[in-house]
Structure 1
């Protein structure tokens, strides 16, 4: 058990930045930003670009930089480049840092405009372009997040720029492919992140076993991709639910998706209620140390579900 707990602590410390979905700097970019596709307000993309340039001033560009903490911006720029040629031309003609130029290049590739990318790279980023050409980065339409949680941010950024429904459907792809048990666990992950943050546990009170339960169930020691697949699905739920509070179109899109799938809506409803009850029991246990409440907490933390799948 000691070894398991140590492994859990190490694993969480390693993937904490991944489960954060977007970096702190990235949050500062989008927190006060409306979706571009609903307003076509040019000031929106200009503000995003300016703040990204400020971030870029703190980084040294080199050919190995992968922009993994800036996927929302890459997705947003990719969407802009793909859907709005005039704006793309204006942006690419800007004089900016190598760091930002590298992001432009990746965004052109994600937008599936290889000729433009090759032309842009020819000036002073040809070595990096050669690397991307060899590895063949997927275009936005091809990205279906499986074991890389930050790819959800890429697609959300693209959706914010264009309103293209397919990007959201790609985020939810595995909710139509996986078994009910994994779908339920992924929804639980998303709700836990939404409530408690990337650690998925309350910051105060007794130490919960939720994270350890996920690590054990999905054999993270020997199959990290299986575990990250679960986390990626969970981050998709969290990301969509968080962003739809500011985007009615995204909210409707998600609700329509749930309505068309006979199992997702009841699972989500059940897990929301179960988490609410868990929080009440958690508060009560910390105050009373009741054995009855502890047993209730243990059931939730063992990843038990309250839904009767036979009735769905």
Structure 2
């Protein structure tokens, strides 16, 4: 909101009046001298009257000009105020739609934070608000990006899911993610979503490895996740037909068949950014790719039999041919 216009100080006002009076005196004196030169032979007080009249007219004109300028300034100020009121009213109406969400609570608590505490706390609060505002602005285009791997988004999306979670993990053997604390919270949230009577969501996770030799590293991971109610399958790229391997292999998760959570790695295979995307024309290809690979990993359709081998090891029985 624009700051109110600063009032004119008494010193400034007195200076303006003095300037007007000086101009009036100068004009009146000039007229008086001119009339004396032009009508030097004529007698009477008309020279003085004319000079006073001209000076008075000049003074009145100056005050009128000043008054008009002040009226324009007042009009501009009033227009700005009404514009601010209109914006505030519109914002209030929008916030009213989110009464049951955290927006009113955010505004109330943000005001409390910035009104007390050290300056560093104020700056932190402002940065967090700006970050959230940036995400909301990005989401108006149905997509948002975050640096690194955003575990907060992952947890929030899991909490919001109502139907299904389909995930592809391609770096499970190398990155050790499933032994980390964020992975523990993520799996716990998925288990709660699976067991929640009001949701009963379906979670499918497909692990993609390069070679069958990497299957052994997946045994404890698959065991843990299957015990949590997650449907797990494994597939080896080496044993898939070429057309299955075409395209870039990235880690992604599709929530409720409508929104994707994609992890992008840099040239050093470090997760450099995370994208959430609700654009149907970009999410649908991920869904089709997941379903294609999921069916390829099914023992009934997969020539490599990878899922069956993993299940056999999980149950403590060696697969056929080992």
Q: Report the TM-score when normalising by structure 2.
A: 0.27
Higher relative contact order (CA 8 A, sep 6+): 1
Which is greater in Rg? 2
- Structure with the larger strand share: 2
Kindly indicate which of the two structures has a greater share of residues assigned to helix. Answer: 1
- Under a length normalisation based on structure 1, what TM-score does the superposition of the two structures give? 0.28
